[in-house]
């Protein structure tokens, strides 16, 4: 019995020992980190000839191309993420970058490029195309853009930084590993040494298993045990990029500009006559130039004696160029580098020939597709104007979602002045009668523009005309017509029809209506009081000045009103 008892005890102990051994072995196995290493080339499966892009702390949706040892990024990414001032001419296959003083051009597949007219050679082709896709060399992009990058091999990864500010980091306190999953049993991606620093992703991610989601400086993203890291801390990631400074011509006085509609050479001869009843004007803008072909040529009504006369009267001349020829497609002109360049060269040649003080661009009714080419035209023209000390201004609509492509913020950066056309609130194609420029419309135009253009560059355009509306019935249906009338003509029309005008507080204008020949006529008047209400807003906003459309439509007394606020 004793022997059997002893054997039973020994057996039980043996079983317990075995069980304990199994448990201990399990515990040890469970808590022993895996030493399996996963090859990065397997973990990051990057196609041949490409490089995975880590942008800031995110795996970007598109890879870079690796061609002949040089990294290239697609054009869309470059303009949307790094630098919107890069421009691609898809017709003539030219990449252009414009600085305040340089127009840099690179043709597809060549190492040589032009800086203004000087030829420069790079160690690599600046731009390449694959089918319809355009790729630009990252080293070239980084010279002109507020971004930096580091490239790594095996696998090919490029880490790009283009957002600056506070990022969350942690330091490695005990040597550890970056793993593929939040588990010590998952494969190792990279060994980390004490003192290494990692970027914490998504505030560490799901920390239930004691792991944090991190990224190394090489762009390796994975999981690290929190206990091996210091407490996380924010550190500011800053840029060393020096943005180009756009120098501008700024007058040391408030501008009082008026547009002079010139339709023939005879009108030029009447400058003195039309200015006789004016007061306080600093700048006159004759409508001399018009694009007259898709090759970028101009029609001209310029007059040397006109400029001499204006200068003798102390006025600057900012000649206007428009795109109003219905037979010329503005998109075709501006989307080709050769025609855009010809247009610019002709404008500069005219400015020099006639001793113009400035050029005023009045391109209207542009399409969304034309927008980028229009802005590039202004950039390139600004370089030439800057080097020749010619004031460059543009006329633009009141901000609205449908005209966002006019990129008023960029205009405010590159141009000397931006003129906001704060009129045509209701125009010839409007479906209802209304004011040309109510006080609320003008106030909103100022407020919205100041969000995009500095006040010292913003000139507010006001109307010297009103619109006489006619509501009538045609073939049994309601119809609407209108015509633009001068201040004097409007008053005479009201007198002739015994119409009484009453002040409309909402629009900040006098309103009148009358009936004649079965039709109702309505008008919101521009005159001394309405103009003064607008001038008060311009004065209070401390804008660069005022512009008026157009000379000859005003009453002489209007100049006394304007002079009170702009002098």
Residues 335 and 367 in one domain: yes
Residues 342 and 446 in one domain: yes
- In terms of Cα–Cα distance, which of 418, 421, 420 is closest to 391? 418
State the Cα–Cα distance between residues 136 and 145, nearest whole angstrom: 13
Within a domain: 323:
yes
Residues 92 and 336: beta-carbon distance below 8 Å: yes
Tokens of 235: 């550190």
Residues 188 and 156 in one domain: no
With a cut of 90, say whether residue 323 has pLDDT above it.
yes
Residues 77 and 128 in one domain: yes
Confidence of residue 152 (pLDDT cuts 50, 70, 90): very high
Confidence of residue 205 (pLDDT cuts 50, 70, 90): confident
pLDDT digits (tens, 9 = 90+) for 342-396: 999 999 999 999 999 999 999 999 999 999 999 999 999 999 999 999 999 999 9
546: phi > 0 → left, psi -120 to 50 → alpha, else beta; which? beta
Within a domain: 354:
yes
Please say which residue of 160, 183, 208 terminates a domain.
160
pLDDT digits (tens, 9 = 90+) for 434-489: 999 999 999 999 999 999 999 999 999 999 999 999 999 999 999 999 999 999 99
Confidence (pLDDT) at 75: 98
Within a domain: 4:
no
Residues 340 and 362 in one domain: yes
Confidence (pLDDT) at 14: 61
Helix axes 371-387, 337-353, angle to 10 degrees: 40
As a whole number, mean pLDDT of residues 228-250 equals 96
Residues 393 and 359 in one domain: yes
Tally of structural domains, the chain: 3
With a cut of 90, say whether residue 247 has pLDDT above it.
yes
Confidence (pLDDT) at 97: 98
Q: Which residues is 45 bridged to in the sheet?
A: none
Residues 323 and 405 in one domain: yes
Residues 6+ apart with CB under 8 A from 398: 420, 421, 422, 441, 444, 445, 448, 449
Confidence of residue 207 (pLDDT cuts 50, 70, 90): confident
Confidence of residue 5 (pLDDT cuts 50, 70, 90): low
- In terms of Cα–Cα distance, which of 254, 205, 243 is closest to 226? 205
Residues 394 and 537 in one domain: yes
Within a domain: 471:
no
Within a domain: 435:
yes
Residues 196 and 171: beta-carbon distance below 8 Å: yes
**β-strand 165-171 against 197-200: which pairing, if any?**
antiparallel
Confidence of residue 206 (pLDDT cuts 50, 70, 90): confident
Residues 432 and 314 in one domain: yes
Residues 414 and 379: beta-carbon distance below 8 Å: yes
With a cut of 60, say whether residue 28 has pLDDT above it.
no
Please say which residue of 208, 237, 266 terminates a domain.
237
Confidence (pLDDT) at 15: 59
In angstroms, the first-to-last Cα distance of the chain is 125
pLDDT digits (tens, 9 = 90+) for 274-283: 999 999 999 9
Provide the mean pLDDT of the chain: 95
Q: Which domain holds residue 137?
A: 43-160
Burial of 237 (0-12, 13-18, 19+ CB in 10 A): middle
Sheet bearing 221-225, strands edge to edge? 188-192, 176-179, 221-225, 211-215, 197-200, 165-171, 233-237
Q: Which residues is 166 bridged to in the sheet?
A: 236
- In terms of Cα–Cα distance, which of 128, 112, 114 is closest to 73? 128
Q: Which residues is 223 bridged to in the sheet?
A: 179, 213
CATH number at residue 55: 3.30.457.10
Q: Within 13 Å, how many C-alpha atoms sit on residue 225's CB side?
A: 16
State the Cα–Cα distance between residues 74 and 96, nearest whole angstrom: 15
Confidence (pLDDT) at 136: 98
CATH number at residue 168: 2.30.30.40
Confidence (pLDDT) at 209: 87
Please say which residue of 129, 160, 191 terminates a domain.
160
Tokens of 534: 């607008």
pTM: 0.93
Residues 191 and 327 in one domain: no
| Three-state secondary structure call for residue 483 | strand
Residues 70 and 146 in one domain: yes
Place of tokens 């600056």: 164
Confidence (pLDDT) at 11: 63
Within a domain: 281:
yes
With a cut of 90, say whether residue 7 has pLDDT above it.
no
Within a domain: 211:
yes
Residues 266 and 221 in one domain: no
Q: Residue 212: enclosing H or E segment and its boundaries?
A: strand 211-215
Within a domain: 455:
yes
| Three-state secondary structure call for residue 4 | helix
CATH number at residue 452: 3.20.20.80
pLDDT digits (tens, 9 = 90+) for 492-547: 999 999 999 999 999 999 999 999 999 999 999 999 999 999 999 999 999 999 99
């Amino acid at each position: 019995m004793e022997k059997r008892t002893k054997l039973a005890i020994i057996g039980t102990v043996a079983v317990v020992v075995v069980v304990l051994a199994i448990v201990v072995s399990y515990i040890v196995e469970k808590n022993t980190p895996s030493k399996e290493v996963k090859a990065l080339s397997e973990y990051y499966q990057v196609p041949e000839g490409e490089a995975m892009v880590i942008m800031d702390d995110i795996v970007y949706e598109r890879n870079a191309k690796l061609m002949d040892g040089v990294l290239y990024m697609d054009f869309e990414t470059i303009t949307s993420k790094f630098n919107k001032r890069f421009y691609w001419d898809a017709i003539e296959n030219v990449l252009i970058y414009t600085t305040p003083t340089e127009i840099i051009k690179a043709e597809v597949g060549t190492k040589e490029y032009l800086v203004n007219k000087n030829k420069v050679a790079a160690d690599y082709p600046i731009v390449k195309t694959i089918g319809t896709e355009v790729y630009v060399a990252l080293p070239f992009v980084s010279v002109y853009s507020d971004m930096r990058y580091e490239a790594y091999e095996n696998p090919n990864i490029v880490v790009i930084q283009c957002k600056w500010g506070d990022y969350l980091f942690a330091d490695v306190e005990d040597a550890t590993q970056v793993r593929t999953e939040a588990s010590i049993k998952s494969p190792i991606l990279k060994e980390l040494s004490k003192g290494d620093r990692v970027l914490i992703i998504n505030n560490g991610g799901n920390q239930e298993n004691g792991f944090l989601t991190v990224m190394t400086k090489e762009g390796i993203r994975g999981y690290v045990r929190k206990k091996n890291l210091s407490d996380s801390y924010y550190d500011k990631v800053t840029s060393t990029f020096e943005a180009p400074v756009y120098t501008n011509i700024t007058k040391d006085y408030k501008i009082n500009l008026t547009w002079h509609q010139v339709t023939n050479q005879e009108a030029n001869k009447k400058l003195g006559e039309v200015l006789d009843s004016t007061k306080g004007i600093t700048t006159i803008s004759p409508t001399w130039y018009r694009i007259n072909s898709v090759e970028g040529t101009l029609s001209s009504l310029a007059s040397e004696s006109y400029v001499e006369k204006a200068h003798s009267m102390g006025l600057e001349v900012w000649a206007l160029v428009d795109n109003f020829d219905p037979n010329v497609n503005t998109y075709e002109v501006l989307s080709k580098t050769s025609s855009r360049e010809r247009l610019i060269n002709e404008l500069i040649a005219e400015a020099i020939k006639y001793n113009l003080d400035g050029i005023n661009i009045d391109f209207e009714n542009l399409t969304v597709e034309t927008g980028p080419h229009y802005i590039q035209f202004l950039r390139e023209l600004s370089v030439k104007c800057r080097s020749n000390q010619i004031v460059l201004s543009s006329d633009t609509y009141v901000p609205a979602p449908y005209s966002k492509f006019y990129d008023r913020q960029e205009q405010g950066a590159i141009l000397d002045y931006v003129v906001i056309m704060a009129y045509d609130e209701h125009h010839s194609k409007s479906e209802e009668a209304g004011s040309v420029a109510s006080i609320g419309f003008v106030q909103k135009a100022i407020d919205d523009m100041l969000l995009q253009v500095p006040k010292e560059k913003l000139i507010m355009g006001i109307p010297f005309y009103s619109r006489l509306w006619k509501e009538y019935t045609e073939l049994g249906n309601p119809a609407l017509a209108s015509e633009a009338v001068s201040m004097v003509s409007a008053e005479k029309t009201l007198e002739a029809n015994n119409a009484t005008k009453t002040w409309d507080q909402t629009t900040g204008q006098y309103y009148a209506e009358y009936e004649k020949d079965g039709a109702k006529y309505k008008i919101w008047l521009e005159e001394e009081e309405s103009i003064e209400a607008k001038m008060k807003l311009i004065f209070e906003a401390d804008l660069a000045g005022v512009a008026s459309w157009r000379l000859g439509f005003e009453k002489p007394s209007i100049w006394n009103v304007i002079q009170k606020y702009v002098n």
